[in-house]
Amino acid sequence: MADTTVELNHLKPKVNKLEKEKAEQDLDIHPDYLCGIGACKPKWMQKLAHRNVYMISYCILNMCQGMFYTYMISILSTVERRFAVPSKVTGFIMTGNEFSSIIAAIPVAYFGSQGHKPRWIAMGMFVSACAAFIIALPEFVIPGNEALLQAYTNSSSKDVCQLNDNNLNLCEQERSTNSFTAMALIFIGLFVYGLGTLPMYSLGYTYIDDNVPKKTMPAYLGVSMGLRVIGPSVGYMLGGIFLKMYHDLEKTPDFGPKDPRWIGAWWLGFFVIGCCIVLSSSFILLFPRELTLNGEKPTLLKKKKKLTEALNLPSIKDFPSAIKRVLNNNILIALTFEANFYLLGIVGFGTFMPKYLEAQFGQSASTASIITGSSTSVAVMIIGLVSSGFIIKYFKPRPRVLSGYSIFLGVLHFVTLIVCMNIVCEEIVIIEGNFTADNLLQLSTSCNADCLCTTEKFTPVCDQSLQQTYFSACYAGCTTYNASSKSYSNCNCVDSSLTEEALELGKCPTDCNAFIWYVAIMTAMRFLLSTERVGSTLIYFRCIDPKDKSLALGWLNSVLCLFAFLPCTIIYGAVVDSTCIVWEESCGERGNCWVYDVDKLRKWLHGITAGLLITSQLFQCYVWYKCKDLKLYEEIAEKEENDKDVSLPLKENSQQVES
Confidence of residue 196 (pLDDT cuts 50, 70, 90): very high
**pLDDT of res. 297:** 44
**Which helix H or strand E contains 59, and what residues bound it?**
helix 51-74
Average pLDDT over residues 35-62: 84
CATH, range 316-427+513-634:
1.20.1250.20
User: Sorting pLDDT into bands at 50, 70 and 90, what band is 204?
Assistant: confident
pLDDT at 290: 80
User: Residue 303 in 3-state DSSP?
Assistant: helix
Q: What is the pLDDT of residues 69-111, one digit of tens each?
A: 889 988 888 888 888 788 778 888 888 888 888 888 888 888 8
**Confidence class for position 637, pLDDT limits 50, 70, 90:** very low
pLDDT tens-digit map of 227-242: 888 888 888 889 888 8
- On average, the pLDDT of the chain sits at 79
- Phi and psi dihedrals of 549, rounded to 5? -60, -50
Query: Secondary structure of 329-389 in the HEC alphabet?
Result: CHHHHHHHHHHHHHHHHHHHHHHCHHHHHHHHHCCCHHHHHHHHCCHHHHHHHHHHHHHHH
Q: Mean pLDDT across the stretch 480-489?
A: 82
Number of other residues whose CB lies within 10 A of the CB of residue 254: 8
Return the pLDDT at 135.
93
| 110 residue type, one letter | Y
- DSSP string over 113-167: TTS-HHHHHHHHHHHHHHHHHHHTTHHHH---THHHHHHHHHSTTTT----STTS
Query: Which of 12, 55, 453 lies closest to 220 in space, CA to CA?
Result: 55
Do 389 and 221 touch, CB atoms closer than 8 A?
yes
Q: Domain extents for the chain?
A: 43-149+178-295, 316-427+513-634, 434-505
Quote the pLDDT of residue 428. Answer: 63
- Find out whether 585 and 174 touch, Cβ atoms under 8 Å: no
Q: What is the number of other CB atoms lying within 10 angstroms of the CB of residue 415?
A: 12
Q: Residue 23 belongs to what H/E stretch?
A: helix 2-26
Q: How far is Cα of residue 203 from the mean position of the Cα atoms in its chain?
A: 18
Asked whether the predicted pLDDT for residue 27 surpasses 90, the reply is no
Half-sphere exposure of 105 (CA within 13 A, CB side): 22
Among 3.40.50.10190, 1.10.760.10, 1.10.10.10, 1.20.1250.20, name the CATH number for the domain at 43-149+178-295. Answer: 1.20.1250.20
Q: Sign of torsion, CA 150 153 154 156?
A: positive
pLDDT at 654: 37
Lowest mean pLDDT among 245-249, 342-346, 503-507, 634-638: 634-638
Which of 7-16, 254-263, 274-283, 575-584 has the least mean pLDDT?
Answer: 7-16
Biggest alpha carbon distance in the chain? 129
Q: DSSP for 454-477?
A: -SSS---EEETTTTEEES-TTTTT
C-beta neighbour count of 421 within 10 angstroms: 16
- Angstrom distance (rounded) from CA 298 to CA 305: 10
Does residue 357 or residue 625 have the better pLDDT? 625
The CA distance from 634 to 534, in Å, is 17
Q: For 409-434, what is the mean pLDDT?
A: 83
Q: Is the pLDDT of residue 114 over 80?
A: no
Burial 341-372 (b: 16+ CB within 10 A, else e): bbbbbbbbbbbbbbbbbbbbbbbbbbbbbbbb
Whole-angstrom distance, CA of residue 509 vs CA of residue 491: 20
User: What is the pLDDT at residue 276?
Assistant: 93
